[in-house]
Chain A
């Protein structure tokens, strides 16, 4: 294996190159631009044989990926924020059409106020689009997820597109030493893309047709099952990945010191690292703290969460998202998992990191103390002004 000093964006591009997509269609947007630039460079210098299509918008990028997938091509695209929202119309076309496209999304705030920095309101707003959603924490995980995602998306039991989310700037633009696997090993891991869901001169098909009220629900049921089937396929993909590359991933969730934890903070993306450090400090001071990082939020890890949270005294959800007028969407999902499993413990929501605001160790410590001592259910953390009457 080769070691390279790569940013999250670059690592993802290296991963995509190993997956050898036949078609890449993308439109640049900060903070995603570098993944697209890097792939464009790879195609230009011949290290990646792929049709790179420069489109005029994100709506076209996704439409183009769908069209390419519909002739049996492995396809890649990437976007962020407003770009993701602009292609939103096409997202259910890709998932409902069962086109296993892989897309990288650089998590970024959504306007207005206009802001290019990181939060997760863009992707979380698209939870119901039918796409599998996974959140990376490191550049290494980003590279690996590029390969894993094709494996998962293209499995016959899944046939669902995957959105891989990288925190804007904190992951896309920070550098770390990354193991870049060899082409030979990557080929061993990822079989060529084969599908019956394509235009074919030998076996002509109707594609992307309408289905009225008589059978529409059944098609949506199958989509749902496809995403749920991903749970088993993710486990299978990660086992095979570990066999070939020697790196093990932990499925839908990544638990840190949760076995005997009384107070667990649930979060997703890069902030999990600082949460773990904070939990370690609290442990040293006698607090039984744990951190649970959600890797996949579609499929949502209902049973996996319940198995870990059942012995906790209280939990918190820290997220860079707010569903205005209600609460953070991850909090809603976690509460649903708790209720379905009959786990009746207090849960608290911490909304932070919006528009690129730093979430500090102090913020996380305060969140843990809030979980321990109780208080308001939904809390905006790290506010720089007084919001009390």
Chain B
């Protein structure tokens, strides 16, 4: 399962914090996509679901939901590798506004 952004609940008591530097993996509470200048956008009609983009994505932000390939923009850095690797040219890089 690909981890997704979770809501950060501020600890109130010391027992709300882990007793050391160990906690469940993938507990992501802050977005990390601030430096993205272009975002990959999938054209569903062209996508055949081969998942090459998923395999090549260096940040692991591509997944599948309801049979469709989706991108997690909370963590995508906009590197464009998915667009380059897509054989059906289903992914376009669009400027962030």
Contact = CB atoms under 8 A, between A and B. Distances in A.
Interface of A: 96-98, 159, 196-198, 203-209, 211, 215, 218-219, 221-222, 226
B21 to A, nearest CB: 5
Given A204-B26, A206-B27, A221 B21 contact: no
Contacts, number: 49
Interface in B12-62: 14, 17, 19-27
A98 B19 CA distance: 8
Contact of A97 (B14, B17, B21, B25): B21
A218 B14 CA distance: 7
Given A218-B14, A221-B14, A222-B14, A96 B21 contact: yes
A320 to B, nearest CB: 33
Given A96-B21, A97-B21, 20 more contacts: A98-B21, A98-B22, A159-B19, A197-B20, A204-B24, A204-B25, A205-B23, A206-B24, A206-B25, A208-B21, A208-B22, A209-B23, A211-B21, A215-B11, A215-B17, A218-B11, A219-B21, A221-B14, A222-B20, A226-B19
B17 A209 contact: no
A206 B23 CA distance: 5
A221 to B, nearest CB: 7
A207 B24 contact: no
Nearest to A99: B20
A343 B42 CA distance: 76
Contacts of B22: 98, 196-198, 205-208
Given A221-B14, A222-B14, A205 B24 contact: yes
The A interface is mostly helix, strand or loop, or mixed, namely loop
A222 B19 contact: yes
B70 to A, nearest CB: 22
B14 A209 contact: no
- Report, nearest first, the 6 A-B pairs whose CB atoms are least far apart: A98-B20, A204-B25, A197-B22, A208-B21, A207-B22, A206-B25
Nearest to B20: A98
17 contacts: A96-B20, A97-B21, A98-B20, A98-B22, A159-B20, A204-B26, A205-B22, A206-B23, A206-B24, A207-B21, A207-B22, A209-B23, A211-B21, A218-B14, A219-B17, A222-B20, A226-B19
B1 to A, nearest CB: 10
A222 B25 contact: no
Given A218-B14, A221-B14, A222-B14, A97 B24 contact: no
Contacts of A226: 19
Contacts of B20: 96-98, 159, 197, 219, 222
A197 B23 CA distance: 8
A93 to B, nearest CB: 9
Contacts of A197: 20, 22
B58 to A, nearest CB: 19
Interface in B51-90: none
A219 B25 CA distance: 19
A205 B3 CA distance: 12
Contacts of B19: 98, 159, 222, 226
